[in-house]
A and B are shown apart, each in its own frame.
Chain A
Amino acid sequence: MTRTIEFRDALNEAMSEEMRRDKRVFLLGEEVAEYDGAYKVSRGMLKEFGPDRIVDTPISESGFSGMAIGAAMLGLRPIVEFMSWSFSLVAADPILNNAPKMLYMSGGQFGCPIVIRGNDGAGGQLGSTHSWCVEGLYSNVPGLKMAIPAFPADAKGLLKTAIRDDDPVFFLESERLLAYKDEVPEEEYLIPFGRALVRREGTDCTLVSFGRPVHFCLEAAEELAKEGISCEVIDGRTIRPLDLDTIVESVRKTNYCVVVDQSWSFGSPGSEIAAQVHAACFDDLDNAVGRVHSADVPTPYATELEHEYLPNARRICEAVRATTYNA
């Protein structure tokens, strides 16, 4: 059985279910308690779990994320909410230097079972300081896992898995998807990391993406179908670990691949996936892997500029046409 709920409520259900199951789990961050969440993701949770487990913090990202990491070293399972991943930059030292390295530096003595989650990417005219896509920066770091759901059902299943995971998980949401409604199973379920999903089957070109741009890909695939180009859309769901097998299987069928990634192109998940696809499918590809990224400029404010900046459906269509021109 399923019902239709918003993305934000899927996240709320995941956290609430896990907090009922495991007292070690608690939520902290700016406005998570009395305000009911800056984006209402934690709506009602203070009422159910009380202020000991739903902890409002001051605007001190470095302090409270470091504090959560200390608690995780002791064996607790904190969920840190960043109102925006853009604000994680002032917490770079704890989240990059402590969380993903603690297990290694301590020779296996202290792990860091923490989940850090929040809005990632352009939220809609927020300008360049509030629109960070941190997957480009943070996926570079070994020792962390990174999930980036595009649909409510994945948001719930992946977040529950993240909370139960013994390693640090960076969980990237999109403000633009929080009100997105879709079917979510009634019964309890978890979605394992490292399992991509074919969102739309196709025969002519493989589109690989994560998070919000998966929707751009589906839009583009609809458009290209009218021109007779059949796209297979793969939703990676987690960047670390990466499910290369599902991508390779698809590329061996279509012989073409375009990677769509909302981070900047230089040293990005998109460039990494393109490199891995080239290495794994060299003999299968009929052209080089195409790539669509956010434009290589700071995120602009004006609507027209921001739209063109993003890896939108029109730019994806152009990339697919250019990549498959010799089909």
Chain B
Amino acid sequence: MSVVQTSIGTDHLDFSQPEKGASLASGLPVSVTLQWLRDMMLIREFEVRTMQAYQDRKIGGFCHVYIGQEAVAVGTIAALRKEDPVVTAYRDHGHALARGMDPKYCMAEMYGRVGGCAKGKGGSMHMFDRINHLYGGHGIVGAQTPLGAGLAFGTKYYDTVINGGRSERVTLCFLGDGALNQGAFHEALNLSGLLDLPVIYIVENNGYSMGTSINRGTTMAHAICEKARGYGIRSCEIDGMDVCNVYDAMKPLVDEVRETSTPAFVDMRTYRFKGHSMSDPRKYRPREEEEVYETGDPIGKLRDQLLGRGAIDDDALKAMAKEIRGEVRDSMKWAEASPAPDPAVDLYHDVFVEPMGPYTGTSYPQMIQECEGTQGQDG
């Protein structure tokens, strides 16, 4: 068993190969675990192709890929109910896909096409999905943390004050470790503790805020749960490089937050295999560190576990990979074929709900319109 020591202090992470027959996620049929493998492989393939499309200048602006962190989005969201709100930062493609967004709407958004989830008005950092209760994609570091508190305030208010029942929903608010140093984060934690809000703040602690190691930017970097403790909020560390482990740790936590209607905080240890954004040469971290983490690839880990247990064989795995490649390729074709927004029609649309002056009101994107009977999920 090898113990890995790196700059972010990941001595709790074990990248050794699992023993044959080791248990997977507790209490779940293996078909669920297989689906997680597929979900993570889809995110990985999607992001690889996103990088290529960015190089090909099909995608512009700022673009942050999720490669390496797939187990976090997949394992946490698996512990939720469909109606639980999710909000995240700008590294958001993985959350959108894990929440159930069809890759074609996500890709078309980055292509800046009308078929995108936000009609090409949001871009890579601003993925929204009303049907799947994804409340963004937010570009300013830490800005989504008060929004997460507000979503939890809102569900609790709807469930108790308006509907007269008990608080039923749990909000997941993802943030990067860089957001720990923003004032908005601390205000949101204080409010969440004070008002007993059913929200879980999940710090996707990949050790770097852009090019700054957490040790250079954050006090108590080795034990960030202390920050939550200061606000009286329960907290835990989770190895985010193992999807089964993520689910097993998150499920009871989600249940507890749902039951008690009080907040929680997670130091989710993970690693981004690529740079902060597409323009990042990663000169601030040693190549050796990256290699160590790559041996703990969450996809490879689960794949080997499933192969070892005979839950899947090489042929089925290849077929799955091929299917995913096709799905992502199709999403790119779909994005390519989706029309560019027409300034005469789209520029002044969606600014105000009410038509007024040059503003022409608002409407749902194609993604919502194509799903019948799912509009108006308020409350």
Q: Is B311 an interface residue (CB 8 A)?
A: no
Using a CB–CB distance below 8 Å, which chain A residues touch chain B?
23-24, 26, 52-53, 55, 57-58, 60, 62-76, 90, 93-94, 97-98, 102-111, 113, 142-143, 145, 165-167, 194, 241
CB < 8 Å A-B pair total: 172
Interface residues of B in 89-142 (CB under 8 A from A): 116-122, 126, 128-130, 135-138, 140
Given contacts A58-B191, A142-B351, 9 further A-B contacts (CB under 8 A): A63-B187, A67-B149, A71-B154, A74-B158, A93-B143, A98-B138, A106-B136, A107-B121, A143-B351
Contact of A106 among B118, B149, B354 (CB under 8 A): B118
Assess whether B364 is in contact with A98, with CB atoms less than 8 Å apart.
no
Assess whether B351 is in contact with A94, with CB atoms less than 8 Å apart.
no
Assess whether B153 is in contact with A71, with CB atoms less than 8 Å apart.
yes
The 6 A-B residue pairs whose C-beta atoms are closest, nearest first, are: A70-B150, A66-B146, A63-B187, A75-B378, A107-B118, A74-B154
Contacts A52-B160, A93-B140, A167-B354; A109 near B118 (Cβ below 8 A): yes
Complexed CA–CA distance, A57 and B101 (Å) = 36
Assess whether B161 is in contact with A194, with CB atoms less than 8 Å apart.
no
Contacts A103-B350, A103-B362; A98 near B143 (Cβ below 8 A): yes
User: Could you say which residues of chain B place their CB within 8 Å of the CB of A66?
Assistant: 143, 145-147, 149-150, 184, 187-188
Q: In the complex, what residue of chain A is closest to B368 when comparing beta carbons? A: A109
Assess whether B350 is in contact with A107, with CB atoms less than 8 Å apart.
yes
Assess whether A97 is in contact with B140, with CB atoms less than 8 Å apart.
yes
* 17 A-B residue pairings within 8 Å (CB atoms): A23-B161, A52-B161, A63-B191, A67-B147, A67-B153, A70-B146, A70-B148, A70-B149, A72-B154, A94-B146, A102-B136, A104-B350, A105-B121, A107-B117, A107-B119, A108-B349, A108-B365
Using a CB–CB distance below 8 Å, which chain B residues touch chain A?
85, 87, 116-122, 126, 128-130, 135-138, 140, 143, 145-155, 157-158, 160-162, 183-184, 187-188, 190-191, 194-195, 349-354, 356-357, 362-365, 368, 378-379
Assess whether B161 is in contact with A64, with CB atoms less than 8 Å apart.
no
User: Could you say which residues of chain A place their CB within 8 Å of the CB of B143?
Assistant: 66, 93-94, 97-98
Complexed CA–CA distance, A156 and B160 (Å) = 29
Complexed CA–CA distance, A158 and B246 (Å) = 50
User: Could you say which residues of chain A place their CB within 8 Å of the CB of B368?
Assistant: 109
Assess whether A58 is in contact with B190, with CB atoms less than 8 Å apart.
yes
Assess whether B354 is in contact with A166, with CB atoms less than 8 Å apart.
yes
Contacts A97-B140, A106-B122, A107-B365; A73 near B147 (Cβ below 8 A): yes
Assess whether A108 is in contact with B364, with CB atoms less than 8 Å apart.
yes
Complexed CA–CA distance, A73 and B136 (Å) = 10
Q: In the complex, what residue of chain A is closest to B105 when comparing beta carbons? A: A107
Complexed CA–CA distance, A60 and B185 (Å) = 11
Assess whether A110 is in contact with B184, with CB atoms less than 8 Å apart.
no
Q: In the complex, what residue of chain B is closest to A70 when comparing beta carbons? A: B150
User: Could you say which residues of chain B place their CB within 8 Å of the CB of A53?
Assistant: 161
